[in-house]
Each structure stands twice: as structure tokens, then as C-alpha cells.
Structure 1
Amino acid sequence: MKKLKIALIGYGKMGKAIEEIALQRGHTIVLKIDINTMDQFTKENLVQCDVAIEFTSPHSAVENIITCLRAGIAIISGSTGWLDRWEEVKTVCGQQQGALLYASNYSVGVNIFFEVNKRLAQLMNQHPDYEVSMTEIHHTEKKDAPSGTAITLAEQILENIGRKKQWVNQQSLSPGNLSIISERIDPAPGTHIVKYSSPIDDIEITHTAHSRKGFATGAVLAAEFLQGKKGIFSMKDVLGF
């Protein structure tokens, strides 16, 4: 495995967790960008790196991704809340013949959870007596609600359960709505619950993160996977699903 020179775009708690895992796996952190070091976020510095790993905010993610693509550097993005501009980013990636890997969640466990969620939704499509709802719990610094992971789970349910037409970020009694309840409680790294309730019984699947280590490990695995590739990828590619 090639040892990578990594740029960290966003050096908060997640960036520091990624740094720890990357160093353990023999990689080098060449550049650390946060609100205090934006003057270093230049093409001249980026081209010294093999890959950038970007975990910032919905408001800055797109500009960060495009800056890296235009510098010719492969980029891993874990920021959520910006997918309304996905086509713009996709176009720039194609124009630059770049490499982008985006996931709403980089945890290996969560990506397995995604596959379980899809299969369960397929099974429950035939059982209208079960009402489905979701809950997601994160720390109070989480800037978007619902979480990107919750949106991924919700979209999988909408794709597989015909009676559900849209998700809403509130409790709803409308039969076509999928309710997502967002709770912000410290120090929760992240819990996602999908629940099917009927008058007879309940079926519930839950993923609970105990730390940021799982997300960080997945992001570094994604960076290793992206080397030498062109195009747009996801964690399904990394994990071979």
C-alpha cells in the first residue's frame, strides 16, 4: 500500500481523529486547514498532497471540494447537507477528470447497516400494517438536521416502500410521510434507529457509534482506495458491496 501525503480540510474533532488513524497506518499529514489557516488553502500547497480529506460544514463543503478538484487532487468528502449542489460538483469533477469519493457516513458498520435497512424495507413493503419511523441522535455541535446518514436511510426506505412518498423532519401522521426525529444530546457521536410498528409487534434496527474512530478509519480506507482512480465513488465501492 502506498503511503499517502494527506491534506486535512477541516481540523476539528473529526479531522484530528482522521489524523490519528492516518498516522497509525503510515501516512503523512502535509496540510491542515481550518478557520485559522485558510491562507494555506492554495493550489501550490494542495499539489504537494496525494489526497484531501474534507470534513467541514454544509456552507463551505462545495467550495472546498471544487478547490481541490481544480488543483488536480483526489478528494474524500464527509461533509453533509450540501447535496442540493451535487450536480455542480459532479460537473466540475468531470471537467477536471478528477476523483471524488463522497459518503454520508464512512463507518464500515453504518454501511453494513445501510444494506440491512434496504433489505428490511423491501420485506416491509408487503406489510402495510407496519408504520415506519426514524430517530437520529447526535451531539449538539452537529450543524445539519436530519443527519446525512438519516437522509440516506430515509431515501432507501422511500425507494423500497411504495406507500411512503417523502421524509419530513418532524412527527407526522400523514400516511405518505416518513417521520425523522432529530435529537441533539451531548456527547452522542451518533445513533440511528429505524422502527416498524404494528398493533401486534415492533421491529427495530439500531446503529450506535461509540466514538469517531469508525468514521475516521473508513475515511482513511477511502483515501487509500481512491489512489490512481478517476471518477466518482462511494463507500459501496470501497467495501465491495
Structure 2
Amino acid sequence: MKLALIGYGKMGKTIHEIAKENGDEISFIIDKENAEDLKKITAGNTDVAIEFSNPESAFSNLSYCINNRIPVVSGTTGWLNKYDEVKQLCEEKVSAFMYASNFSIGVNVFFEVNKFLAEKMKKYNDYKLYMEEIHHTEKLDAPSGTAITLAEGIIEKNDRFQVVESMDIVSKRIGKTPGTHIIKYESEVDSIEIKHEANSRLGFAKGAYEAAKWLKDKKGVYSIQDMLFGE
């Protein structure tokens, strides 16, 4: 598989190592210093692009890949106000695109547990919802994309909440923490808490790499749930 890495921070470098271990070819590494080289990526020299850049450049990076029918996997957060535009473009160009706020298998199981709990708690108004997310100090967006996905899952299953902004989400940035997410329902009599804590970035990177392999040769807009839980 020929992979283009768009964004070469910690995630890009970890994905690079995984790809090398699996005998894949890195066709391009695109970062701030050579951003103009994005236009050298074509469907002829690259099978899939993996995009972990920043909120400011994600939309243009994804649009380029989709316009040129290069399947692209993205884990960049903070740009989702333009997600519908990317989805529509992908459908128009008959290209392939997958976005996930988090590619960790464990986190995506956690998303499903969160939805289950939200549905069970919707009748019990005496429980207050509390969410906390903790990441490393280099993370640019807050709340995290994973926290927003968790919030959206709660909204989907629990009509006590209408918008993400209505939720009590605490964002902390501490040291080199890979990522912790806590959902807590608390009342005067007891508390219910679910938690996911990442031990390293490796789980995120492995998931993104597996997503690229899965997306290769496909057409359409997909989620990580399609890959992990689809028929």
C-alpha cells in the first residue's frame, strides 16, 4: 500500500512507523515546511492519504484529496463546521472519505457504551451529567473531538440534552497525557461513572492505519463504526 501522510506530528510519525513495520511505502510526507507538495499527490502514486494536520488546513487538504479521487482518512478535529461540505464533495466526486474524532478501537467501544448509558439515564432527571477530558498541553482544540463525539452520542439517545454547548464539559491540558475521557451521572444518593484512559498514542495510530487499509479501493463516506461494527 502506498500511503501519503498529511501532517507529520506525533500521530503522523507513529503511523509512519506502523506502515514501515508492515512493509508499506510512504509516497509523501506533507508538513508545514512543504505544504505546497500536497499538489504532487495523485491517485496514480498514492493509494490512501492519512490526514492528521490542524483545524486551519484540514478542509483544504481533504478537498484536494477528494477532488483528485485519493481516498483519505482524517483524524484532525476542530474543523467539523465544514464536514457536510466535505461529505457532499465526496459524493459528487465519487471518492472515498473517513473521518473519526478518535481511531482507537477501545474509544469506539466506549462510544457505544456511552450511548447505552445515556439511553438508560434519560428518565432520571435527578442525575446531573458531568464530562471531563484530559489531554497533553500541545492539543489545540477544547473540548476534544472525542468529547464532542461523546456529547453527540448522549444527545442522540437522551432528549434532556439538545446541543453540545448545554453540557458541562471540563477540558484540562496536563503534561504529555495521551487522552482521558470521563462521563459521570451524579445525584444526591449515588454516582455512575464510565471512563476511557489511553495509555499511549499507539492505539489511535493503529486504528488510523487499519482504517486506511480498509478504505483503499472503496467509494463513499464512512465512519470508523462502519469499519469496526459494520456487517
If the length of structure 1 is used for normalisation, what is the TM-score? 0.92
The separation in 2 between residues aligned to 1:149 and 1:211, in whole angstroms, is 16
Contact kept, 8 Å, 1:221 with 1:238, in 2: the verdict is no
Question: Between Structure 1 and Structure 2, how many residues are aligned?
Answer: 230
Query: Which structure's residues are more often helix, by fraction?
Result: 2
Instruction: Map 1:1-241 onto structure 2 (within 5 A).
Output: 4-43=1-40, 47-168=44-165, 177-241=166-230
Kindly provide the CA deviation profile for residues 59-82 of structure 1, in whole angstroms up to 9, marking residues without a partner as x.
Answer: 110100011112221000000111
CA RMSD of aligned residues (A): 1.2
Kindly provide the CA deviation profile for residues 171-203 of structure 1, in whole angstroms up to 9, marking residues without a partner as x.
Answer: xxxxxx311111111111111000000111111
Contact kept, 8 Å, 2:129 with 2:167, in 1: the verdict is yes
If the length of structure 2 is used for normalisation, what is the TM-score? 0.96
Aligned counterpart, 1:173: none
Contact kept, 8 Å, 1:47 with 1:71, in 2: the verdict is no
Structure 1 segments unaligned to the other structure (5+ residues)? 169-176
Kindly provide the CA deviation profile for residues 18-57 of structure 1, in whole angstroms up to 9, marking residues without a partner as x.
Answer: 1111222221111100011223211455630100000011
Identity, % of aligned pairs? Answer: 52
Aligned counterpart, 1:172: none
The separation in 1 between residues aligned to 2:201 and 2:117, in whole angstroms, is 27
The separation in 2 between residues aligned to 1:104 and 1:41, in whole angstroms, is 23
Q: Which moved more, 1:38-47 or 1:228-237?
A: 38-47
